[in-house]
Amino acid sequence: MTFALTISPSDLLLLLPEILLTLWLCLILIIDFSFPRLRNEQLAFFSIAGLAATLGCLAWFDIADITGSLFGNMFVLDGMALFFKMFIVGSTILVVLSSIDFIHRFKFFRGEFYFLVVMSALGMMFMASANDLLSVFVALEFSTLGLYVLVSYLREDMASNEAGVKFFILGIFAAALLAYGISLVYGETGKLVFSDMTSAQATPGLAIGFLLIFAALGFKIGAVPFHSWIPDTYHGSPTPVTAFLSIAPKGAAFAILLRMFFVSLATFKPVWILLLVATSILSMTYGNIVAIAQKNMKRLLAYSGIAQIGNVLIGLATGTKMGSDAMLFYLLTYLFANLGAFAVVIAVSEAIGSDEINDYSGLGRRSPFLAFSMLIFLLSLAGVPPLAGFIGKLYIFVAAVKEGLYLLITVGLINVVISMYYYLIVVKKMYVTEPHDRSPLKVSGSIKAVVYVCLAGTLAIGIYPQPVTDWVVSAIMMFSQLADPTASLPVPPAVVPFGG
């Protein structure tokens, strides 16, 4: 296989956001060591400026409808890639903004923190565009490399170091699975680019290969049974990094999952529906039930995140355009509610130095703003109208109803109820339980900004979802042939046992 690498200026244009961010990355590093006295906020705002410029550039691409593919289809820029890139860059901006207060806890290399965050984001942007197995592998490892360091950034803290080592070892393990899966798939089909594999024959070797790739991606999104790294890593990481881990890499991994399942695995549809139904049910049930027993806010959000990913997988399991629309929508609502909740956790931990749920007692009196915001975010995660999370769940379930996935819906609805229980335990702590200490909490401006943005997003999408639905529907027009799955896909004789 040979690549003819001729890059024209118009090709470079497609890479403009990535190039911009790469240059900015170098600038961050140079500025950091050239001006050692520079305050952290200044570097943070400098990073945010670069990310914002990238976001603006992506938005321009989206509006001007600039799309295309590069390097023999290894790198594609389409509506979906743009959606996920904006998703990644947007969440990175919020994470950097909420890390400003936290940064003083790092003893060394504060400047590199921003460098590493932005570098990971850059890697994830490549993941969103990756269109063949090799670029998937490279982009995925590129983005994860920075995360390994970020997780163990609290060098004095044993928990952080432990989390880093665990994440590293398991991450390498997942990478090995990915590489093994890729080699099996390439061996069976002789193809690397997703869109070339559409006619691949369903052989056991191929099935195992895809299963291994799915395991590696399932590791990234934290779906049961590949979730095991999540609780400890979330718990031990510096909280802004936890927030980053909980949203950006998942978005990027879902971009790859969507391309892989919806483009190249058409012949395997009955297999992967089964696979996704199983992982979705496991994730929702396991995440929600174990979340009940949690005493630490970060661990609670970790398990709740596992359950939320189970919900997103319902959308993937439908295998239809509507399901993928609902997925994108759901991820966006999850971004706001989840990052908002983490921002509140950061603010509280800055003020009282604890992430234990018990220490949230009486938060409603100590900081009505934080408590109310947390209430809104938790209710949105639980899916209460008129918040964004409700509409997201509704779309996901409606998409599943259309495909007759009644088992998934039943399990999903039961899980919604279970999740209400532990979300409301936190609410009860905040509003009903008397605080041990009544002193009001101070909240810094940057955290407030993050909370406000997330509140606005959660409320606005809930009350006026149409622009967002229009956006997600148009972002993945390429799957519109899946609107009626029976029309475009051959239905194999073995019927999915879970179908209605």
Contact status: 490 vs other proteins (CB under 8 A): no
Contact status: 11 vs other proteins (CB under 8 A): no
Q: Which of 1, 64, 487, 494 binds other proteins (CB under 8 A)?
A: 494
Contact status: 203 vs other proteins (CB under 8 A): yes
Contact string 224-243 vs other proteins (x = CB under 8 A): xxx-xx--x-----------
Choice between 27 and 394, CB closer to other proteins = 394
Selected range binding other proteins among 55-63, 76-84, 288-296, 327-335, rule: CB under 8 A: 288-296
* 31 token code pair: 């500025």
The angle subtended at Cα 341 by Cα 335 and Cα 344, nearest 5°, is 135
CB of 395: closest distance to other proteins in angstroms?
Answer: 6
Contact status: 489 vs other proteins (CB under 8 A): no
Residues 466-485 that bind other proteins (CB under 8 A): 466, 469
What whole-number distance in Å separates Cα of residue 388 and Cα of residue 395?
11
Contact status: 212 vs other proteins (CB under 8 A): yes
- The position carrying tokens 């191929």 is 206
Please answer whether residues 497 and 357 qualify as being in contact, where contact means their C-beta atoms are separated by less than 8 angstroms.
no
Q: Which of 413, 464, 491, 500 binds other proteins (CB under 8 A)?
A: 464
Selected range binding other proteins among 3-11, 111-119, 275-283, 307-315, rule: CB under 8 A: 275-283
Q: Which of 70, 82, 128, 174 binds other proteins (CB under 8 A)?
A: 174
Other Cβ atoms closer than 10 A to 3: 8
> Comparing C-alpha atoms, which of 129, 228, 237, 257 is closest to residue 170?
228
What whole-number distance in Å separates Cα of residue 492 and Cα of residue 455?
46
Contact status: 208 vs other proteins (CB under 8 A): yes
Sign for the CA dihedral angle at 410, 413, 419, 425 comes to negative
Q: Which of 13, 52, 263, 398 binds other proteins (CB under 8 A)?
A: 398
Residues 6 or more apart whose CB falls under 8 angstroms from that of 436 comprise 359, 361, 362
Selected range binding other proteins among 22-30, 117-125, 273-281, 404-412, rule: CB under 8 A: 273-281
DSSP state, residue 483: S
Cα Rg, the chain, nearest whole Å: 22
What whole-number distance in Å separates Cα of residue 81 and Cα of residue 77?
6
Q: Which of 108, 421, 440, 484 binds other proteins (CB under 8 A)?
A: 421
Contact status: 142 vs other proteins (CB under 8 A): no
Please, what's the b/e burial string for 126-151 (b: 16 or more CB within 10 A of its CB; e: otherwise)?
bbbbbbbbebbbebbebbbbbbbbbb
Choice between 110 and 299, CB closer to other proteins = 299
Q: Which of 13, 29, 202, 459 binds other proteins (CB under 8 A)?
A: 202
Contact status: 219 vs other proteins (CB under 8 A): yes
Please answer whether residues 62 and 81 qualify as being in contact, where contact means their C-beta atoms are separated by less than 8 angstroms.
no
Contact status: 292 vs other proteins (CB under 8 A): yes
Please answer whether residues 261 and 272 qualify as being in contact, where contact means their C-beta atoms are separated by less than 8 angstroms.
yes
What whole-number distance in Å separates Cα of residue 58 and Cα of residue 56?
5
CB of 240: closest distance to other proteins in angstroms?
Answer: 23
What whole-number distance in Å separates Cα of residue 151 and Cα of residue 148?
6
Contact status: 170 vs other proteins (CB under 8 A): yes
Selected range binding other proteins among 99-107, 131-139, 184-192, 460-468, rule: CB under 8 A: 460-468
Contact status: 376 vs other proteins (CB under 8 A): no
Q: How many residues bind other proteins (CB under 8 A)?
A: 54
What whole-number distance in Å separates Cα of residue 429 and Cα of residue 328?
32
* 489 token code pair: 């896909």
Phi (first) and psi of residue 70, to 5 degrees: -130, 165
What whole-number distance in Å separates Cα of residue 157 and Cα of residue 79?
42
Contact status: 420 vs other proteins (CB under 8 A): no
CB of 145: closest distance to other proteins in angstroms?
Answer: 18
CB of 294: closest distance to other proteins in angstroms?
Answer: 9
Where on the chain is the footprint of other proteins (CB under 8 A)? 158, 162, 165-166, 169-170, 173-174, 177, 202-204, 207-208, 211-212, 214-215, 219, 224-226, 228-229, 232, 270-271, 274-275, 278-279, 286, 289-293, 391, 394-395, 398-399, 401-402, 418, 421, 463-466, 469, 494, 496-497
